[in-house]
Structures are given as C-alpha cells and as structure tokens.
Structure 1
Amino acid sequence: MAKDSSRVLIADDNKVNRLLLSRSVELLGYGVSLAENGRIALERLRTKPFDLLLLDIEMPELDGFAVLEQIKADPQLREMPVIVTSSVEGLDNVVRCINLGAEDYLHKPVNQVLLKARIGASLEKKHLRDQQKAMMRRFVTSEVADDILQSGFALDGKRIHASVLFSDIRGFTAMLESQGPEETIDLLNTYYMLMFDAIGSHGGVVNQMIGDGLMALFGAPLPLDDCAVSAVAAALEMVELIEQFNHERKAVDKVAIRIGVGVATGDVVAGYIGTQQRAMYTCIGDTVNLAARLEAHTKVAGCGILIDDATQRALDGSVPVQSLGEVSFKGKAAAIGIFSVMAGQPN
C-alpha cells in the first residue's frame, strides 16, 4: 500500500493492544506513534503534529474521558479527530465519548475492515478542514481566520477600544499616467509587502486595501495592549521602510514615493458585516472616520504621520510629537487637537 503522510497517535495502556493497533495502522500506510497513557498522549499532541488519535478509555494517570475533555477545551487541539477503541461496554459510555467530541467508537477487538473505513473517513474530513483553513487564510488575515475558527461566524458587532491607521501613496494618480500597468502592479505589490510587514510586526491587522490606500486595526479582532503605541510604532516603521525603498528606486532612476499616515484611537464597533454568503470583518465609528481625515490632512499639513489627541496621550511622551493645534474636520462637532509625529516627517 502507498505510504500516506498522515500521522496517527495510538494511546493504550496495554502493550499488546498498542502493538497490534500499530501494525494494523502501519499496514494501511500511515505513520504511527505510541503513548501508554492519556497524559503522555496529550503531551505528544501538544508538541508534535498528528492527524488522528486512536484512544483507549481505561488508562492510568488520565483516562480516555479526561483526554477527550482536555482536547475539547484546548483551542489548538479541539479539531483533532479522535476514534475511541475500547472494551468498555454500555451505550452511555459511547454517548459520553461522542458528546465529548469523538468521531467514532470501536469496540475491542477492533474489526480491521471497520478500522480502515473509520480511519480513512476521519482523515478525509480532517484534510478537508485543513484545506478550508488554508483557503480562508488566503483571503482574510490570520487573525480574522482564527477568530472565525475559534468563535464562529455571526453577523454581529461589539464595541471595543482600538487604534485605526489609514495610509496611502502621495501623488499615486499622477504616477499611473507615467508608467505601464505591469510596473504599477509591481509597485503596489512591493508597497503592500512592506506595509504588511511593518503593521503585522507591531500587532496590527490590515483590514482593507483600496488601490494605493490601506486601513489597519490595532486591537481588533484580537485585543492588543497599548494599541496606540503599537499603531504609531507601525506608522514610523512604514515611513522608514518607504525611505529605504526609495533608495532602491533612485538607484534605477525611478521616482521616489511618499506616504501619508493617520492614526486615531478610541471606541469602535467591530464585527462582521454583509450576508451569510459574503461578509467581511470591519470597524466603524468616529474613530475610523477621524483616522481617515487625519491621513487626508497630512497633505495639507505637509507631515508624514498625523495622530489625534487620544493617541498622543496614550504615547505618554514615548515618541516626539509636535502640536499643530486644533482642526475642524467634516463630521466632527468640535475641533480636534492633532499632532505630527516628528520622526515621521518626509525627507
């Protein structure tokens, strides 16, 4: 039989049973590891990748029921398929195992034909789930994917404290007219690669990309301590990376690019919007609107990075800033104190 890359862990305190099951599974083409009790099985699951667990019930130190309970409670393990192989009789025990998340319950001595079918079906379902996760992460951020996989998907929202960052390339429309489409796409791909790295390295999540502009969240969908500090640190690194990128562009006689960044901090309403067929994770509220206004105002102020007063207060003097006074923005009833982040001034 052809070798399969799937790894099966067998947990059974009876050495003969372990060896017999191991031989049967290996003959099916799968890799096998052994554990003589539930505690060791959990240690193996948490330190090495496995695709399936064959689990006995009556074991010392930690029985099969306790193993199932811990697997179900562990976000990293709860999707692990488990087939119980046990001599314990009684429908109540079977039901208990299924309720705790077991895929199936096979009585000992295990029928080899049935074992082959159950292992094949369980691994096929796991492989399909793994493909679904991989596909999801291609189209949404890993943080959003983890949020959906752990908490489930629902068209709802919640109010959270976060920092919102907007950025775009200055004079991008004029650049479009002076270069070909291939060069434009290559520039955008490089730009986004650099911006994603800067934002992600400080705990941010890129939420939207619109042409040459992007929106990033710090503190959603996962909480983030000192979200304002992280957002400003990301903005500073974004500007620094663009400056380094410009050295490369100048070396091949390409025009330098500049970006403007706006950061605002406060309460936002975050969640999934759309329909059950098509939805996206986003944030809405005054903080989001203000961050967008700040980014647009960098053109007027001639600054690389502008932040609001809430973000400035959260920095607590850790980053040099210059007050630009109060500015009245569209949609805001009162003028807002704004600050230029000094290290973010363009060359």
Structure 2
Amino acid sequence: MESAQTACVLVVDDNEANRDLLRRRLERQGYTVAVAEDGYRALELIDKQSFDLVLLDIMMPRMNGYQVLETLKSNSARNYLPVLVISALDDIDSVVKCIELGAEDYLPKPFNPVLLKARIGACLEKKRLRDREKAYLKQLRIEREKSERLLLSILPAPIAHRLKQDTHTIADNFEDASVLFADIVGFTKLWSRISPEELVELLNEIFSAFDRLADRHGLEKIKTIGDAYMVVGGLPIPKENHAEAMAQMALDMQQAMAQFNKGEREPFRIRIGMNTGPVIAGVIGRNKFIYDLWGDTVNIASRMESHGIVNGIQVTEQTFDRLKDKFIFKKRGTIEVKGKGGMTTYLLLDRKKKKTL
C-alpha cells in the first residue's frame, strides 16, 4: 500500500470546517494535504502539483464536483488521478452518476472515520498498482523502441517490416540495381603494428563516414566484411537514378578518405568497384540473419573492386553506358576477370560540370 509519508491528498470542499476536519485527520495519519475551496481552485492545484488522491465534495459554488470529475477524466494527462467523493448527497442516483463520471469510490457525509481510512487506503493501493503498470508499460515501450532501432540498423526498414509481419522466406528479384564494393588497401598490414582497439576504431571512423554518405544518397548499406564495404542502390525500394547516386557516392568516398588522411595517422588508400544490372535480394538465416544480394551483377561488382586500381573507381561497360552523359570516365581497356574472361572496364573520374548559359 502507498505509504502515508509519500502520499499527497487534495481535499476539495466549499465548507471550511469540513476542509479543516479532513486536513487535520489526514495529517495525523501521516499524509501530505492540500485544500481547495471549489472546483476551479482544485483544478489549478492539480495542474501545478502532483497528487495521489482527491477527496471531492459535490455541492460547491462556481464548479461542482460533477464538473470537476468530467474535466479530470476528459484530460488524458489527469484521468489517472483517483477521486473519492465525500458528499451529503446519499441518494443512489448521485452515487451512480459519480461512479459513471469516473470516481473511484463514494462516501456519504457524515463519514465514518474508520471507513474513510479504509477507502483512502484502497484508493491509494489501486493508484500504486496503476502507477506500477504505467511504469512497466513505459519501460516496455522503451525496450521495444530499442529493439526496433536495432532491427533497423541490421535490415532496411521495408524488409524489417515484412519480417515482423511474415516469417516466410523473403527473396525478391530486382531487374535493375547498382552494386558497389570498396576495400581499404593494405589495411591488414596494420594488424601487427597497432592494437585491436585502435584497428577497430579506425575502421569504425571510416565506415561510419561511408554510412552517412549512403544515407545522404538514398542507398542501402548491405554489410562490411573485414575492411571491405558493400552498398546497393535501387532496392529494396526501386530508385530510378540509383546508378547516378552510386557513382556520386563513390566520388564522395574518395573525398572522405582524402579528408581522413589529413591527420597525422598513416594514410589509407581505397579501391572501389561498381556494376549495374539485375540482382536477387533476401534475408538468410534465423539467427544473426542478414539482408544480402546474389547474382552475376554482384559477383562482377566484386571483381571490379578486386581487379581495380588503387585510389580508382572501376566500373563495367553497363555502368559506363548508363552514366557517360553525366560523368567523366577514362577507358581502362580489356582486363581478364576471373570467371568472365575479358571485360572492357572504365575508371570513373568526376561528374561533368553543368553547362552555363
């Protein structure tokens, strides 16, 4: 039960003698007591101060007890406050009306002190249980929001929503997407020279910058594998300009690395590969699941990175054809790609400047 030392009670009665009687009796029982001479004053106090219980008279000038109850229970911020009506009106209609308006209990005047104490204790116990329930629900909501944020950090929002609605396999075919792989050249050589904490901190700083670029350009990060970074455009929500957005991200990644290398630390170099075409995307696994991509487009994008040039952005002919009107390229020529043979590739250099009149 709510302890008297922590419970605060508001006595609302237009009769000063009644207010004084209730105040002195409650204070002797250890409650903190405030008084109001009418309904308006009661609502003012409730807005300014936190109460655990209201002892409310019905017949009062300006604003009667019925109106106070209606006002309290219509306000979502105050309808939790228990109200014990103490009134000289002892007819059944008055009792029913008060209960229907949201009163916790009803006690006729002149009240029995023992019964009053028992009713107050019961009201405070109900409030304590409701407060505990509210606190539990609030904590439950906070934990649910944490879980939601964690899920969204692992999966794209549309995929996370589908996964929550349906436990069946999620696999989609996308006819047109752009895939980018990036790798930090020579990063593994650092393992023997710096601590694991420093190594992870460097990777986190670089990849966090890439994450921000992906968000800025409306692209979807898929995963990191060691010091490699993978991002896709055009899914899970189709995006018409995914190839253009991906090319701009690749250029911005180079700038981000140049900015990163301005510090006193050892400079890093990056190799980027990009391809455009159809892919299959879906969620694999039930434990530690991941949203991943499959298909020839993905494999070739990976080869564009691994067969690429340090500090260069190598793209396939498909990507070049899509972007040649908006970006500047240098033809690299034909290179041997594992599993594909000879392929014509290009190096993305910059975005073309808009012509001014």
**TM surpasses 0.5:** yes
Q: Does 1:240 align with 2:255?
A: yes
Three-state SS of the structure 2 residue aligned to 1:269 is: strand
* CA positional deviation for 1:124: 5.3
Q: Distance in 2 between the 1:311 and 1:226 partners? A: 12
Counterpart in the other structure of 1:319 = 327
The aligned counterpart of 2:346 is 339
TM-score normalized by structure 1? 0.61
- How many Å separate the matches in 2 of 1:279 and 1:287? 22
Partner Cα distance (1:129, 1:268) in 2: 37
Shift of 1:164: 0.9
Q: Aligned equivalents of 1:257 and 1:22: distance in 2?
A: 63
Q: Report Cα offsets for 1:173-195 as digits up to 9, x if no partner.
A: 22222323232122111111211
Alignment of 1:1-347 (within 5 A): 19-23=71-75, 25-26=77-78, 28=80, 128=140, 131-138=143-150, 140-141=152-153, 144-149=156-161, 152-153=165-166, 154-160=168-174, 161-248=176-263, 252=264, 254-275=265-286, 277-299=287-309, 302=310, 304-332=312-340, 335-343=342-350
Unpaired segments of 5 or more residues in structure 2?
1-6, 9-48, 51-66, 82-99, 105-122, 352-357
Offset of residue 255 of structure 1: 1.9
Taking the aligned partners of 1:115 and 1:316, their CA distance within structure 2 comes to 70
For 1:148 and 1:126, how far apart are their aligned partners in 2? 23
The amino acid across from 2:325 in the alignment is G
Choose 117-126 or 188-197, whichever is displaced more.
Answer: 117-126
Q: Quick check: which has more Rg, 1 or 2?
A: 2
Structure 1: how far apart are the matches of 2:68 and 2:132? 23
Distance 1:232 1:335 in 2: 23
Q: Contact 1:141/1:206 (CA < 8 Å) preserved in 2?
A: no
TM-superposed CA distance for 1:135, in Å, is: 2.7
**Distance verdict in 2 for CA 1:273–1:138, change over 3 Å:** same
Runs of 4+ aligned structure 1 residues displaced above 6 Å come to 1-4, 15-18, 113-123
Assess if the C-alpha contact under 8 Å between 1:143 and 1:221 holds in 2: no
Letter in 2 for 1:271: G
User: CA separation of 1:327/1:126 partners in 2, compared to 1, >3 Å: closer, same or farther?
Assistant: farther
Structure 1: runs of 5 or more not aligned: 5-14, 30-107
Measured after TM superposition, the shift of residue 137 of structure 1 is 2.6
CA-to-partner distance for each residue in 1:129-151, whole Å, 9 max, x for gaps? 55334234336537624532266
Q: CA deviation at 1:120?
A: 8.1
Q: Work out the CA distance in 1 between the residues paired with 2:160 and 2:103.
A: 38
Report the counterpart of residue 85 of structure 1 in structure 2: none
| 1:227 Cα offset (Å) | 0.7
- Name the amino acid aligned to 1:225: E
In the TM superposition, residue 111 of structure 1 has moved relative to its aligned partner by 7.6
For 2:162 and 2:139, the matched residues in 1 are separated by 18
Letter aligned with residue 287 of structure 1: T
C-alpha separation between the residues in 1 aligned to 2:301 and 2:103?
64
Are the structure 2 counterparts of residues 120 and 162 from structure 1 closer, same or farther at C-alpha, using a change threshold of 3 Å? farther
Q: State the 1:342 CA deviation.
A: 1.6
Q: Which amino acid aligns with 2:297?
A: T
Q: Is the 8 A contact 2:213 2:249 kept in 1?
A: yes
CA RMSD for the aligned pairs?
Answer: 3.5
Note if contact 1:143-1:222 (Cα within 8 Å) is conserved in structure 2: no
The whole-number CA distance in structure 1 between the counterparts of 2:102 and 2:170 is 46
Aligned residues: 249
